[in-house]
Copies of this chain bind each other. A is one copy, B any other.
Amino acid sequence: MPETKDINFSNGLSCPIPKSDYDKVLLAHGGGGTLSHQLIQKLFFSQFDNDVLNVHHDSAMFDINGSRIAFTTDSYVVQPIFFPGGNIGDLAINGTVNDLSVSGANPLYISAGFIIEEGFEIEELWKIVLSMKEAANKAGVKIVTGDTKVVDHGKGDKIFINTSGIGLIEPGINISPKNCREGDAIILSGRIAEHGIAIMSAREGLEFETTVKSDSASLNNLISGVLSKTKNVHVMRDPTRGGIASALNEIAESSGKGIHIFEEKISLTEEVKGACEILGLDPLYIANEGKVLIFVPNTEAEGVLNIMKKHPLGKESSIIGTVTEDDPGLVIMKTLIGSSRIVDMISGEQLPRIC
């Protein structure tokens, strides 16, 4: 039993809550690492407990009159709001489309909730809205409902956007981190760490120049190609906040399986590699916004890989690893020099406000 303390409500009631190591919310609580997970587990999952609540899924899934529905939400607070390769608007569409897609759903409808800081330029808002429109059109989803709130100058940061999304899961598809099986091949759809590096390069005060662009893109078309080839996909995940390291750790943890990856199979450009070295960052932990990890039985791997390589967003797909009964709950990387290292979950975040 965790130690508890009482909190008091203004109506005179009090309620015991587990003692926390922290009194205040830290930036790292939003970073997608261990601290984020602890907050979500202890607070949200413990209280909002129900049979549908999505534990370690990218979307909640439930039946309505026999149709299998996926439902997801994400708030975007990326800073800066315009960056090489995109802006907060298309990122908000792509991110939610991808969360639905990696649940095996066909994304259909999107909501858009804007929290705008007083004094924000109307022209910037136009640019963002036009980008959202374009991204939605490209992904074939409809933005069907929205909300606009304005907060006082100094009480926000230009613009925050929440997008929620609804998708339909076809019968026979059952994708979940828990479905990870020994012998599964792990396919990654391309080069890593480009979104995070593009954001960093656009940040004020950082003195480094690069031509790296965010990989922000909607993956639903790539993924539906895979699912039309085989419904036998065990796990899918878009490695966003926390990079492929965090995504793989979550899958290892919730399945209790071991994950072995091979450094030589994970591709990144020389430029991204150089930027990571300058900034002292590990590319495995850096956010991607247009990549997917796909776990399929080894027998299906070549077929899926071939399909993916034919798609513009999957040209550089490769099998980066495999699932094993050894090392349960751990992610182990075979390095280029032949050694093995544990790829941990990071506790905080390397890069705040990356999405």
- Using a CB–CB cutoff of 8 Å, the interface residues on chain A facing chain B are 7, 9-10, 15, 17, 20, 22-31, 36, 39-40, 43-44, 47-48, 50, 52-54, 57, 59-60, 62, 64-67, 69, 71-77, 79, 82, 108-109, 111-123, 125-127, 129-130, 132-133, 136, 142-152, 154-157, 160, 162, 164, 166, 168, 352-353
Contact = CB atoms under 8 A, between A and B. Distances in A.
Given A119-B24, A129-B44, A166 B168 contact: no
B126 A43 contact: yes
A122 B20 contact: yes
B115 A52 contact: no
A73 B123 contact: no
B148 A36 contact: yes
Contacts of A44: 112, 129, 146, 148
Contacts of A121: 23-25
Classify the interface of chain A: helix, strand, loop or mixed. mixed
B166 A71 contact: yes
A80 to B, nearest CB: 12
B75 A149 contact: yes
16 contacts: A7-B127, A25-B121, A25-B150, A48-B112, A50-B143, A52-B142, A64-B69, A67-B67, A69-B166, A71-B145, A73-B112, A73-B164, A75-B113, A75-B162, A76-B149, A77-B151
A224 to B, nearest CB: 17
A9 B128 CA distance: 10
A246 to B, nearest CB: 14
B7 A144 contact: no
A30 B150 contact: yes
Contact of A115 (B116, B143, B160): B160
A26 B82 CA distance: 21
A164 B60 CA distance: 13
B160 A111 contact: no
Given A17-B123, A122-B20, A47 B144 contact: no
Given A48-B136, A75-B149, A118 B353 contact: no
Given A151-B77, A152-B27, A52 B109 contact: yes
A47 B135 CA distance: 12
B27 A150 contact: yes
